[in-house]
Structure 1
Amino acid sequence: MYHPTVDRVKNLLASHQIEFDFFDHEPVRTSEEAAKVRTGYSINQGAKALIVKVTGRVGVETYLMLVLPGDKRFDSKLAKSSLEAKAMRFATEAEVSSLTQGVQVGGVPPFGSLFSLPTFVDPLVLANEKIVFNAGDRCASIGIASQDYLKVENPTVLAIVSD
């Protein structure tokens, strides 16, 4: 039995007539583990979603979703600069769970809109024709065309990883 967010992601894609590949697999936590169970996709096609807490220039704190390629490391200095933030930190597991209605870290899909979170995607994610991501559960992944992801989520494209 999957987390209910898996159905929310599937329904979101279906409502936009988006074709997708669905993968049922053993629980995965890292991009490396996920790449091994997503047949036909490579690690660089993975789109990993991170939730961060950002303090803006005027001191207002907010949570954001950042989406980066599975084979890249998050560059906090670049992201902080790109977002014009005074401070930034990863959301805690408890915060992620609260913000996503119980989705575990490692299972968060790259659709901040499902959780009322602004979404920012690194352009390297979109350099792939297709992307693949955890669908709301560590045991479920979905692959779609990157242009379909843009159409459905309409994220802000922003450099958040170093090449």
Structure 2
Amino acid sequence: MTPIGRKILELLALKQIAFERIQHAPAETCFDSSALRGHPQSIGGKSILFKSQHGFVMIVLAAHLRIDSGKVRHYLKSSKLRFASKEELFNLAGVVKGALPPFGNGLLDIEMHLDRSLCDNQHIAFNCGVLTESVVLKMEDYLSLISAPWCDCAATELDTSI
């Protein structure tokens, strides 16, 4: 368990929030994670870390959708935008690619924004800082734990990468 994973579980216990903790084989993609959890991919929270001209930013969207980097660039008012490298991800969050949980703006010192695609879900599922453990909780409980602005950065097409 990573430090961020422990912080998330401690926060859920402190706030007395019910959740499901699922141990599974390593899952690097949202598709793999959802299959191993036995839940629809759409309830997954896909956390993507970007580096803009203003710094690092996490965008969280429904896992069955792709991110539209043009929309992100426009939303952030940033002419420069790229995905964070594996090294930057590890240095900032202490996790590997695929394990970044949707908890910036507090538990992680990373600016975070939520895509409106999450509004369609009653639950959210995510890897809890490692590729072998997931957490599932009610969306309303998740939203009570975080403070982040809403954005519209998801692409209209589904994420079909496997």
Identify which of 34, 47, 50 aligns with 1:52: 50
Tell me which residue corresponds to 1:71: 64
Tell me which residue corresponds to 1:153: 146
CA drift at 1:98: 0.3
Q: Percentage identity across aligned positions? A: 28
Question: Does 1:34 pair with 2:26?
Answer: no
Over aligned residue pairs, what C-alpha RMSD do you find?
Answer: 1.1
Using the alignment, how far apart are the partners of 1:80 and 1:72 within structure 2?
Answer: 17
Tell me which residue corresponds to 1:103: 95
Question: Does 1:127 pair with 2:120?
Answer: yes
Is the Cα–Cα contact under 8 Å of residues 97 and 103 in structure 1 kept in the other structure? yes
CA deviations over 1:7-26 (Å, ceiling 9, x no partner): 11111222222111111011
SS where residue 86 of structure 1 aligns?
Answer: coil
Tell me which residue corresponds to 2:7: 8
CA drift at 1:80: 1.0
SS where residue 115 of structure 1 aligns?
Answer: coil
Using the alignment, how far apart are the partners of 1:53 and 1:116 within structure 2?
Answer: 14
CA deviations over 1:14-59 (Å, ceiling 9, x no partner): 22221111110111000110111113x200100011111111xxxx
Is the Cα–Cα contact under 8 Å of residues 21 and 135 in structure 2 kept in the other structure? yes
- Give the structure-1-normalised TM-score: 0.90
The runs of at least 4 aligned residues of structure 1 exceeding 3 Å deviation read: none
Using the alignment, how far apart are the partners of 2:6 and 2:47 within structure 1?
Answer: 18
CA drift at 1:162: 2.2
- Structure 2 unpaired stretches of 5+: 157-162
